[in-house]
Amino acid sequence: MAKPPLRILLCAPRGFCAGVIRAIDAVEKALSLYGPPVYVRHEIVHNKYVVESLRKKGAVFVDELEEIPPTDAPVIFSAHGVPKSVPAAAAVRRFFAIDATCPLVTKVHREAELHHRRGRTVVLVGHARHPEVVGTMGQLPDGAVLLVETLADVERLAPREPDNLAYVTQTTLSVDDTKDLVAALAARFPTIVGPHKEDICYATTNRQEAVKRVAPEVDAMIVVGSPNSSNSQRLKEVAERAGCAISRLILRAEDIDWSLFQGLQSLGITAGASAPEVLVEEIIDAFDAHYTIEVETVSTADESVFFPLPRDLRVSGAA
């Protein structure tokens, strides 16, 4: 029997952003220069496929520095950033530490530190326990950062000096949710100081805009990414809010629940900033086995951002 037709709208931009590419390249460059093992604190990026690929090459992922034995091997901090206590602990143990924090996360860290030096209490808009949030809060002394996750949190906020506040945000949030939270903060605290340029990174914004364009036009939407990836989860939520009846976050083709994707005429596909293009292609191939597909790319922005490797790897590479 002939396969039914399926129009696939492929979001662009999608997949790896400059910060993720930099972090993965840092691990691979360290492996190339120094050989295995290369230790990585936490997942270098939130994607199981990427982590397993690097593990096979000799990367050793740990939750905390205490798990690393005495070593001269490189110890890399993930793209999400770390509290100041982590590089301090690495220095005490004389580790060869390499910081692969995304430069856009580092920007948020510096903003928070600047506000603190100017005597302001910092309000962080973000998700509790996310590694990026833990890292940002860990730039300042305990109590110097107040975390808000919901509008209810904003209502409950009771800073000691309500007229002397500033806010920063996690880089991978929903643009729309963050806009609402920032508006609520400004309504309650009219003198609150915001960043000169919004903290949500270009890649998060661009991928969400592409989903907003595609989601209303398709029967179902697939976001390629890991469940623990904040920006991937936000893409799924954006698709749902844009009116897509079926929106699913899927890591691999083997995870597709085909009972949800029967009788489709159109399908949107995007990928979180930590998901490699090979997984997008894998999922397209899976649908090609069930449908006669026609793939069309819907582009909403061009991306040309590039971040160089951490300095230690550049210097070593040049040497």
**Are 108 and 162 within one domain?**
yes
**Are 152 and 238 within one domain?**
no
Residue 1 scores a pLDDT above 90: no
Residue 319 scores a pLDDT above 90: no
For residue 32, the domain's CATH number is: 3.40.50.11270
Minimal CA–CA distance to 103: which of 316, 305, 312, 315?
305
Residue 283 lies in a domain: yes
Determine the pLDDT at residue 315.
63
* 272-300 tens-digit pLDDT: 999 999 999 999 999 999 999 999 999 99
Confidence of residue 170 (pLDDT cuts 50, 70, 90): very high
The whole-angstrom distance between residue 133's C-alpha and the CA centroid of its chain comes to 11
* 146-164 tens-digit pLDDT: 999 999 999 999 999 999 9
Determine the pLDDT at residue 108.
97
Let me know: does 165 contact 159? Beta carbons within 8 Å: yes
**Are 31 and 81 within one domain?**
yes
The whole-angstrom distance between residue 164's C-alpha and the CA centroid of its chain comes to 30
Determine the pLDDT at residue 125.
97
**Are 116 and 48 within one domain?**
no
What pairs with residue 123 in β-bridges? Answer: 146, 167
For range 30-34, the mean pLDDT: 97
For range 1-28, the mean pLDDT: 96
Domain boundary among 102, 124, 146: 102
Residue given tokens 């993720």 in the structure block:
20
For residue 118, the domain's CATH number is: 3.40.1010.20
**Are 69 and 116 within one domain?**
no
Residue 318 lies in a domain: no
Residue 196 lies in a domain: no
Sign of CA dihedral 32, 37, 39, 40: positive
Instruction: Give the integer Cα–Cα distance in Å for 65 and 47.
Output: 21
Domain extent, residue 141, equals 104-188
- Catalytic hit among 28, 43, 111, 132: 132
For range 10-25, the mean pLDDT: 97
Catalytic residue status for 43: no
The structure tokens listed for 134 are 């833990």
Opening angle at CA 313, ends 26 and 104, nearest 5: 55
Confidence of residue 257 (pLDDT cuts 50, 70, 90): very high
Which of 1-5, 230-234, 245-249 has the least mean pLDDT? 1-5
* 66-117 tens-digit pLDDT: 999 999 999 999 999 999 999 999 999 999 999 999 999 999 999 999 999 9
